[in-house]
């Protein structure tokens, strides 16, 4: 007889009273669940999520450091291959805050303050999902989940101007860079670094917004913060830990591929 390990969870909630309430209610409606850690900010939540690889993560939407959506994106992107990706439950004070979008990327959402009756429904959904996924996820599932998380925070707009030439700043100069010459885009906190064979330049917008406007189908995501021009990829090298690195034409440094997107470079 095969014993099934008790399910595990991490809670991320910056309001101590609400965090204690959620722990107490979970103890009542799901006594088998082991709470591994309660984080009070998004940065710590991402760290312990990756370190402890729980089955479930309860994530407050608005936290210091990182939002719950950003935590889910980071954790999913750096998740180990041998473990099924965690199931996410978002916690929010606003019932109209992207609920329809959450349903595509999370098992459920909870309104503050959680009640035992509502939490029981969430627990039943989680238990059903855990029962259905005793095997590891298929290659590409984590990449799809990363992209679902990103879609939650992508700008919502109608028709947008398509970009063929990027106007990027280099000091007091504005470089006009054809999209076809871009080797990769690297997201920073407030900018996108546009990398070409002749140098780098900055664009003041998010990576998601920029990619939504670019008139090209040549770029693929290889990390939550990096998009690469496929026509510039020379090779993909796999190390002993299973991580891939890309060599690009005209670029001296190699680019790391996160585990979520490693399946894109496995041999045919």
Write down the domain spans for the chain. Answer: 8-153, 165-265
Q: Which three-class secondary structure state does DSSP give residue 258?
A: coil
Query: Which pLDDT does position 149 carry in this prediction?
Result: 57
Q: What's the CATH architecture for 8-153?
A: 3-Layer(aba) Sandwich (3.40)
The two structure tokens encoding residue 14: 């910056």
pLDDT at 231: 94
DSSP 180: G
Model pLDDT, residue 150 = 59
Could you say which residues of the chain have pLDDT below 50? 1-2, 136-137, 139
pLDDT of 60 reads: 92
Give the predicted TM-score (pTM) of the model.
0.66
**How many Å apart are CA 54 and CA 48, to the nearest integer?**
9
Q: Could you tell me which residues come within 8 angstroms of residue 239 by beta carbon, excluding any fewer than 6 positions away?
A: 245
Q: Determine the Cα–Cα distance for residues 160 and 154; give it in Å rounded to an integer.
A: 13
Strand bridging mode 56-60 / 8-12: parallel
pLDDT tens sequence across 135-174: 544 545 566 566 555 555 555 555 556 788 999 888 888 8
What pLDDT is stored for residue 265 in this prediction?
87
DSSP, collapsed to helix, strand or coil, labels residue 41 as: coil
238: which strand partners?
244
Give the pLDDT score at 195.
94
Superfamily of chain region 165-265: LytTr DNA-binding domain (2.40.50.1020)
Count the neighbouring beta carbons within 10 Å of the beta carbon of residue 143: 21
Query: According to DSSP H, which parts of the chain are helical?
Result: 16-29, 42-52, 68-77, 99-105, 116-132, 141-153, 207-213
Residue 149 β-bridge partners = none
Phi-psi region of 173 (alpha: psi -120 to 50; beta: other; left: phi over 0): beta
- Amino acid 136: pLDDT: 47
Q: How far apart are CA 257 and CA 77, in angstroms?
A: 10
Res 18: pLDDT: 93
Residue 253 main-chain phi, psi, to 5 deg:
-75, 155
């Amino acid at each position: 007889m095969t014993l099934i390990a008790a399910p595990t969870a991490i809670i991320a909630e910056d309001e101590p009273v609400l965090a204690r309430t959620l722990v107490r209610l979970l103890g009542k409606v799901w006594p088998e669940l082991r709470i591994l850690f309660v984080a009070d900010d998004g940065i710590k939540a991402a760290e312990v999520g990756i370190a402890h690889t729980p089955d479930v993560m309860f994530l407050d939407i608005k936290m210091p450091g990182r939002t719950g959506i950003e935590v889910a994106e980071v954790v999913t992107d750096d998740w180990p291959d041998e473990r099924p990706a965690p199931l996410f439950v978002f916690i929010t004070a606003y019932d109209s805050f992207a609920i329809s979008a959450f349903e595509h990327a999370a098992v459920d959402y909870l309104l503050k303050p959680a009640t035992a009756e509502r939490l029981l429904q969430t627990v039943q959904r989680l238990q059903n999902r855990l029962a259905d996924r005793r095997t590891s996820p298929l290659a590409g599932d984590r990449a799809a989940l990363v992209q679902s998380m990103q879609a939650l925070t992508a700008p919502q707009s109608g028709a947008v101007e398509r970009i063929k030439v990027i106007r990027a700043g280099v000091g007091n100069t504005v470089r006009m860079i054809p999209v076809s010459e871009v080797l990769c885009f690297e997201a920073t906190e407030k900018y996108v670094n546009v990398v070409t064979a002749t140098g780098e330049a900055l664009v003041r917008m998010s990576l998601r917004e920029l990619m939504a406007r670019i008139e090209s189908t040549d770029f693929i995501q290889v990390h939550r913060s990096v998009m690469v021009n496929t026509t510039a990829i020379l090779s993909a090298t796999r190390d002993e830990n299973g991580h891939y690195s890309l060599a690009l034409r005209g670029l001296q440094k190699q680019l790391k591929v996160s585990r979520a997107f490693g399946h894109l470079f496995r041999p045919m």
